[in-house]
Chains A and B, each alone.
Chain A
Amino acid sequence: MNKQISKKNLFVCLVISLALIVAGAFVCGFLGFNADSTMSGHSVVQVSDVSFGTRDDATVRAVTDFYTEQLEGKGFAVSDVKYVDELSTGIGSYEFYVTGEEPSDAVLEELRNAIDGANISGVDSSTITVSYHVTENKPYTEYIWRASIAAAVAVVILFAYVAIRFRFGMGIAAFIAGIHDVLLTLAVVALVRIPSGTYLIGAAVIALLLSAALNMFLFGRMRADLRTDEMKEMPAREAVALSAQGSRKGILTFAVCAAAVFAVLAVAGIFVGLDLTFLMVGALISVAVSVYSALLFTPAVYAGIKSTGDAMAAKRKARSGYQGKAGGKDAQSAPQEAAADAE
């Protein structure tokens, strides 16, 4: 029997997944997701410049570097710098996202006057104002709630479609895998504390879509394979394992295409903005989870469902005295095979 589809493997997969999901739920419940810069409340030291609209790139860079150094010298950690430009007047601001104690008026005044010593052409304390702001993000309750409802309905429809078009047991396995993949993706993101914002839901949706696509690909091939005479003669687990092995290449082709783009964007994010990297790492996790699910988890779940189903069908037929074939196996030997599988 194929080791990857064995009951022991299913048990190990389930334990690992359940442990990760429960741990992720606890971490999420107590600490929440690690909010990225788009979602977290933050403190900003705002340097307003009345001539911002006329500054060239070199000046903007020089002012940015100067104040980053000044803020770090005063004990702040600068996590991000954004530029805001007033639409009508050309007045603009440098927004330094910082962590640290709220500065006093004296510190803000010091920061303002410090620019006079920077010798940056055209920039001095008469054009600059320094202020400090604390921002608290509002929760996106409705967005999360409606996304959850959409995902739940999608999983039920996936189950119904696969159960009707393929086999009932495949529908159950696709349903379990869909829930498993989305929860596991979110749990891993929560556990490894990847900074995330509202776009994390996009990564979770990709996990659901990948789960649907890869598992249907798996079951589509399996449906055709299980009709062949060769596989009809095999015990359920072996037939499922053999078919799953044949789907491996297709699943990996699909996953590699998506993962390559996500990986490149994750690397690019290191240079343009870390939020992009974090999201792409989330998307890569969703690809990894879906591939793991399609290659190991779902075949193991379906093999269990199929062997139980075959055994029950065989028992029913044996009781009714029917001596024909049940699920491709001899009616009397099927329960014994199921028992052997269990061992």
Chain B
Amino acid sequence: MGKKRSVALIVLMSVVLAGLLFISVTPAFFVNDTQRFTSLLSIVDLGSDLGTSYTAVYYPEGVITKEEYDALEAAYQEGQSTETTKDDISDPSEQYARHAGVYITRDYLNDEDDTVTDSFQQEFDAAVRALEARFGAKDLPDYSVQVQDDYSIRVTLPDISGQENMTELFERMAYSGSLFFSDTDSSTASKNVVLRGDADHISGAGVVYMGEDTGYGIAIDFTADGQEAFADATTELTSSEDSSSGSTSSTNITLYVYMGQDVLLQMTVSGPTDQPTIYISGGFDTFSEAETIVGVINSAIDEDTAFDLRLDGSTVYTVSPSMGDNAALIAAVAFGVLSLAMIVFALVRYKGMGLAHMFAYLGFAVAMILCISLIEGIVINIAGVLAIVFSAALLCGFNAYAFSNIRAEFATGKTLSASIKAGYKKSLALTIDVHIVLFVIAALLYFIATGTLYYMSVVLMLGIVFSAACTLGVTRFCLYVLLAQPKNKIAFCNLKREEVEEDE
């Protein structure tokens, strides 16, 4: 490569890398009075261990908090002080019994020993199972469903407010009651059940993408019986509209999918519908919103997770990160400082080759930051940090391996270019082998594992691909470009030829 071309390429690479590094890691600052620069690192979605999480406590109907009990108590005391209202307000201590941090209505308690009734316990257990199934189906990086004070349920989720309104999410997940199709709208208390949404009629639901205008929708799969029953129902409903005039022409009707008293979905049916799957456009802007409804529907089909208990989870709180307030920032700073130390070490140890490694490593870092910040659905938790560290170590290890092979080849008496060629040739098979195996392991985790490991595997796959590309492609290319510059290429690469004793 010519010197001018080499200079041009080095300048270009340096400018591009510097620019990308600037937008990736520079701390936020105000550009002017109204506009603020935000780095790519700061828009990375974090798991609840490294970032803010959201929590809600679900209280079953009849179970109240201490604050609510204190309010009832205060109202009762105030009522007692006035003669006219003395008998209007009942004593909360007669209505509720304290259990750990909550107060339970005596309707749910056995008279003899103040333990909860079996029916309440069974309903509560089913509600816990349902919430576990519903939140579990969302495949979140880290969430928790905990039983608090024995009779309330605390759920903590990572920040997915960019994908879904958190308050609506917690409310939807609490829907209870039986699933059914009805042609009665929500303003009427008594609903006409067109089709029961149980395992006899519905085999499952899933999310479908219905195009740019419609967004995400929901596919409901019927069993054979369900398909027949739905076809009969839609035939009857769409033709019965005109029965008074004796006409058999079909008209449009609106069908609602209810969960207890809450409307999950609604659709317009224009005629008999006899198909194994129906597609309902719920007007969901994001996959996550549709996924929530799918989780609710699927849990209602399963007998183990169907429940009627009304849950109130309307109060949503933000919670500080479980790994500590600034864990993400500290992890990023530690990684940056150690990367800098490693680059300095590489420059001292390998000189020119270390410079090529530096370009490759910075390229790797920038590519990782671009991907984890811009690809939707990637969430970084502490396991993801482990994956990033691992893939960075992989890159450093295999670059060091390639450089040691180049040194070994050079020591045998080959020219520099022949040594580089032979060194990389020697490293090639093993580098590819290791990266392939690691990528396959990461892909296995992606397809089999859930939650934290699922998100870790995504980062791992990206890291391994970038590590392979940087080790085999970028470092070698940079070395090729850099070697066009120095006069003494051997000294530039910090190579020494072993002195061979001459035979006497």
Contact = CB atoms under 8 A, between A and B. Distances in A.
A, B in one complex: yes
A250 interface: yes
B452 A199 contact: yes
A63 B100 CA distance: 24
A212 B441 contact: yes
Contacts of A249: 404
B448 A153 contact: yes
A202 B444 contact: no
B53 to A, nearest CB: 10
Contact of A257 (B334, B397, B404, B436): B397
A213 interface: yes
Interface string B311-334: 000011111111111110011001
Interface residues of A, number: 77
B335 interface: yes
B324 A134 contact: no
Contacts of A210: 390
A213 B315 contact: no
Contact of B144 (A38, A150, A162): A38
Given A137-B146, A147-B449, A199-B452, A161 B437 contact: yes
Contacts of B437: 157-158, 161-162, 212, 216
Contact of A132 (B101, B132, B166, B401): B101
Contacts of A83: 319-320
A131 B316 CA distance: 18
Nearest to B399: A253
A255 B389 CA distance: 11
Interface string B420-446: 000000100110011011101100110
A257 B450 contact: no
A121 interface: no
Contact of B397 (A202, A250, A279): A250
A136 B146 contact: yes
B441 A198 contact: no
Interface in A144-160: 146-147, 149-150, 153-154, 157-158
Contact of A105 (B98, B166, B434): B98
Contacts, number: 238
A260 B167 CA distance: 41
A84 B318 contact: yes
Contact of A147 (B315, B330, B453): B453
Interface class of chain A by DSSP: helix
Contact of B322 (A87, A150, A275): A275
A283 B386 contact: yes
Interface string A272-295: 110110010001000000000000
B438 A264 contact: no
Interface stretch (B4-12, B63-71, B177-185, B238-246): B63-71
Contact of B326 (A93, A208, A272): A272
B375 interface: no
Interface in A122-180: 129, 131-138, 140, 142-143, 146-147, 149-150, 153-154, 157-158, 161-162, 165
A6 interface: no
B400 A202 contact: no
A257 B316 contact: no
Contacts of A157: 437, 440-441, 444
B334 A142 contact: no
A143 B450 contact: yes
A257 B452 contact: no
A41 B154 CA distance: 12
A254 B391 CA distance: 10
B45 interface: no
20 contacts: A48-B67, A86-B317, A92-B317, A138-B147, A146-B448, A147-B450, A157-B440, A157-B441, A201-B453, A202-B452, A205-B386, A205-B456, A216-B437, A250-B404, A257-B392, A261-B335, A261-B393, A265-B330, A268-B327, A283-B386
Interface of B: 49, 54-55, 65-67, 70, 98, 100-101, 128, 132, 136, 142, 144-150, 154, 166-167, 315-327, 330-331, 334-335, 337-338, 341-342, 381-383, 385-387, 389-390, 392-394, 396-397, 400-401, 404, 426, 429-430, 433-434, 436-438, 440-441, 444-445, 447-453, 456, 460
Interface of A: 37-38, 41, 46, 48, 82-88, 92-93, 102, 105, 129, 131-138, 140, 142-143, 146-147, 149-150, 153-154, 157-158, 161-162, 165, 198-199, 201-203, 205-206, 208-210, 212-213, 216-217, 220-221, 224, 249-250, 253-255, 257-258, 260-262, 264-265, 268-269, 271-273, 275-276, 279, 283
**Top 8 A-B pairs ranked by shortest CB distance?**
A273-B324, A202-B383, A272-B324, A254-B397, A220-B430, A257-B393, A150-B448, A133-B101
